[in-house]
């Protein structure tokens, strides 16, 4: 049986993965809603745990919904708004590649595969108990492009490494996103996003946009920064008015 967010089984699984020091109690539902909004097909996660299950839940819901839509069923929005370009596009299969080497002392990532199986999400998950820096050697070349990337591994050196390794892997199909955790109220994160803002404003990252969100009630693990790459379907004009 496939579980949804309202089921007792899902809520119990979330409790097992929640850590008060990881700061993802709101990020998980945030990613879930964002994924349902932007409909990425191939997703990459650097640092697994609670967010892994929310990402999988969203991907499973979109997967089931699009199967219905492609069979001619009415969706949950006005069918007059349906974008034929999106449905005719050659999408990759829905999949989450999640990397975690279990080195964090408070990690819950070592429970992810079993919980994903229990909830019925295993077919959407490729879990790599490895360093994300080995990604180019582990994934087939044709799978090294992603509609959404979530990075929950932060030090200034990691941020810089992720920027250099992962930005080139953002897909051009429908527009793509890379999200960094804990960026706003610490020296490492601020140094990184300040440099990104400068690169964007100077035109060295054309077609990129950036925005950050802060949880003001917390002093740590309290923020995220989203960078959007406008390309593909997200770079079109479909109507004159909203």
Domain assignment present for residue 1? The answer is no
Domain count, the chain: 1
Q: Are strands 148-151 and 125-128 parallel, antiparallel or unpaired?
A: unpaired
In tens, the pLDDT along 31-78 reads 999 999 999 999 999 999 999 999 999 999 999 999 999 888 778 888
Domain assignment present for residue 242? The answer is no
Domain assignment present for residue 241? The answer is no
In tens, the pLDDT along 165-211 reads 999 999 999 999 999 999 999 999 999 999 999 999 999 999 999 99
Q: Return the axis-axis angle of helices 112-119 and 8-17, rounded to nearest 10°.
A: 180
Domain assignment present for residue 2? The answer is no
Distance separating alpha carbons of residues 222 and 215, to the nearest angstrom: 5
Domain assignment present for residue 15? The answer is yes
Quick check: helix, strand or coil at residue 9?
A: helix
In tens, the pLDDT along 10-19 reads 998 888 888 8
Distance separating alpha carbons of residues 226 and 149, to the nearest angstrom: 10
214 is in which domain, residue-wise?
8-235
Distance separating alpha carbons of residues 16 and 207, to the nearest angstrom: 40
Beta-carbon contacts of 198 under 8 Å, excluding residues fewer than 6 positions away, are: none
CB neighbourhood size of 5 (10 A): 15
226-4-69-176 Cα dihedral, nearest 10 degrees: 10
Domain assignment present for residue 123? The answer is yes
In tens, the pLDDT along 203-228 reads 999 999 999 999 999 999 999 999 99
What is the pLDDT, as a whole number, of residue 151? 97
Beta-carbon contacts of 44 under 8 Å, excluding residues fewer than 6 positions away, are: 96, 97, 98, 99, 135, 146, 148, 149, 150, 166, 169
Domain assignment present for residue 240? The answer is no
> Would the pTM of this model clear 0.85, i.e. be above it?
yes
Question: Band of the pLDDT at 2, cuts 50, 70, 90?
Answer: low
- What's the chain's average pLDDT? 92
What is the pLDDT, as a whole number, of residue 111? 87
Domain assignment present for residue 142? The answer is yes
Average pLDDT over residues 131-138: 96
Residue 55: give its domain's CATH number: 3.40.50.150
In tens, the pLDDT along 25-41 reads 999 999 999 999 999 99
């Amino acid at each position: 049986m496939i579980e949804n967010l309202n089921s007792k089984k899902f809520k119990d699984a979330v409790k097992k993965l929640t850590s008060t020091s990881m700061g993802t109690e709101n990020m998980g539902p945030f990613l879930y809603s964002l994924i349902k909004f932007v409909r990425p097909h191939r997703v990459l996660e650097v640092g697994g745990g609670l967010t892994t299950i929310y990402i999988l839940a969203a991907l499973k819901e979109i997967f089931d919904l699009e199967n219905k839509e492609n069979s001619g069923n009415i969706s949950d929005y006005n069918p007059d708004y349906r974008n034929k370009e999106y449905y005719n596009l050659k999408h990759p299969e829905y999949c989450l590649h999640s990397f975690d080497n279990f080195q964090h002392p408070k990690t819950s990532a070592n429970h992810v595969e079993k919980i994903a199986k229990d909830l019925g999400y295993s077919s959407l998950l490729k879990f790599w108990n490895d360093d994300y820096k080995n990604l180019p050697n582990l994934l087939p070349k044709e799978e090294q492009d992603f509609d959404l990337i979530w990075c929950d591994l932060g030090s200034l050196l990691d941020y810089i490494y992720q920027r250099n390794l992962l930005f080139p892997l953002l897909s051009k199909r429908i527009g793509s996103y890379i999200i960094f955790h804990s960026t706003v109220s610490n020296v490492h994160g601020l140094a990184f996003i300040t440099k990104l803002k400068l690169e964007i404003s100077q035109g060295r990252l054309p077609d990129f946009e950036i925005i950050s969100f802060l949880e003001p009630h917390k002093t740590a693990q309290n923020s995220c920064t989203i960078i959007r790459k406008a390309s593909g379907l997200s770079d079109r004009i479909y109507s004159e008015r909203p």
